[in-house]
Structure 1
């Protein structure tokens, strides 16, 4: 009974503080700060455009801005500006070992393994994933044993010039198939249509969607 009385009095005291001023707001802010620290994630963002100021790159920037504001740790890897050799199917790695190539994928490799979430940001190139992004995804093969079934989250940010939804379907199918195979959970997709020239996505609400996605994590 004494413990119950103590808890009751403590609750009433907290309520009195809230009524008197902003104590309850400060308390909840403190709780939210603790939750934010507890839920901090390691996020890898892969970009697949060779245009530094391209539309998909801007979506990636906005996502990163939102995610970092929430306290998440983000590692960005710009596939088009890294030296990554295409997989040669030599199977030297055995799907879970060192690759024969000593290139920039070695920089990305530990981040992918440790990541809680992986974000793919890319433009549509000839109705498919850009080659710059695909060669990096193909190199996932060497760490397959450590990332498959790892319960990671993922998101997909894509841009394309046309507005027909059916033209985006092949890329989305590829992404969803990859998620199914790896056992990762896709939390969201931002599909930006009707953006062609560099920077045109800035005149749409897609950057805000990407930002809000990062903030929502």
Structure 2
């Protein structure tokens, strides 16, 4: 083989090898690119407290869930007002991390989904300057799974109320903040919608779209939105 043929074959081999390496790198890049998408997928538990199926806070929940699902997240919704949840009776039988004496109601669904959840959404109207009784009953039952939910999670609050008073909002916001501080969870966003009293009145406000954007923009802790 003369020098010219040797150089020609060497160059061809180098080019083919480069293409193979490029293809392998591309495949690896694609494989790596698929992994973060899977890792970014969140498990979300939405807890609602309104007994009105088409109430204003439930409308926020609908839009929030739609946005979260569009982003590829797994969402489980628990409508407390349409479920059976017995109030906590402070018997301490659970020892703060064990079986509850009430094992025949729907709280088992909350227990099943809250432990692995990356984010919990609290959705409620203001009832007499506080969280609705239906949602509060669910939160009180957290006592029985206390040891299992003191893990890093995110939370959001979606609340509605009839008047327009920052002072009236403060008890619910303080409750939310203290709850998260106790559990070691991180606030991922709040939507407070004032001035919505009659059923459906929130539809003519920007709050449903804000709820949608909040759901769609969720990211796991430590990740930045592009």
Instruction: Quickly name the TM-score band, shorter chain normalised.
Output: 0.7 to 0.9
The equivalent residue for 2:68 is 67
Is the CA contact (8 Å cut-off) linking 1:37 and 1:71 kept in structure 2?
no
The equivalent residue for 1:207 is 208
| Structure 2 Cα separation of the partners of residues 213 and 111 of structure 1 | 21
Which digits, 9 at most, give the CA deviation of each residue in 1:77-119, with x for residues without a partner? Answer: 0000100000000000000000000210012211011101000
Root mean square deviation of aligned Cα: 2.1
The equivalent residue for 1:101 is 102
The equivalent residue for 2:10 is none
Residues paired across the two proteins, number: 194
Q: Does 1:80 align with 2:81?
A: yes
Structure-1-length-normalised TM-score? 0.85
Is the CA contact (8 Å cut-off) linking 1:43 and 1:119 kept in structure 2?
yes
| Structure 1 Cα separation of the partners of residues 50 and 81 of structure 2 | 6
| Structure 2 Cα separation of the partners of residues 140 and 207 of structure 1 | 28
SS at match of 1:76: strand
SS at match of 2:188: strand
Q: Following TM superposition, where does structure 1 have runs of at least 4 consecutive aligned residues deviating by more than 4 angstroms? A: none
Report deviation, 1:35: 3.2
| Structure 2 Cα separation of the partners of residues 69 and 174 of structure 1 | 30
| Structure 2 Cα separation of the partners of residues 138 and 36 of structure 1 | 35
Which digits, 9 at most, give the CA deviation of each residue in 1:27-81, with x for residues without a partner? Answer: 99x94x6533221010000000000000000100100000000110000000001
Q: Which of structures 1 and 2 has the bigger CA Rg? A: 2
Is the CA contact (8 Å cut-off) linking 1:83 and 1:104 kept in structure 2?
yes
SS at match of 2:115: helix
- Structure 1, unmatched stretches of 5+, are 1-5, 14-26
The equivalent residue for 1:3 is none
SS at match of 2:135: helix
| Structure 2 Cα separation of the partners of residues 65 and 154 of structure 1 | 17
| Structure 1 Cα separation of the partners of residues 39 and 189 of structure 2 | 22
The equivalent residue for 1:169 is 170
Within 5 Å, give how 1:14-163 maps onto structure 2.
31=33, 34-102=35-103, 103-148=105-150, 150-163=151-164
| Structure 1 Cα separation of the partners of residues 66 and 37 of structure 2 | 16
The equivalent residue for 1:23 is none
Structure-2-length-normalised TM-score? 0.81
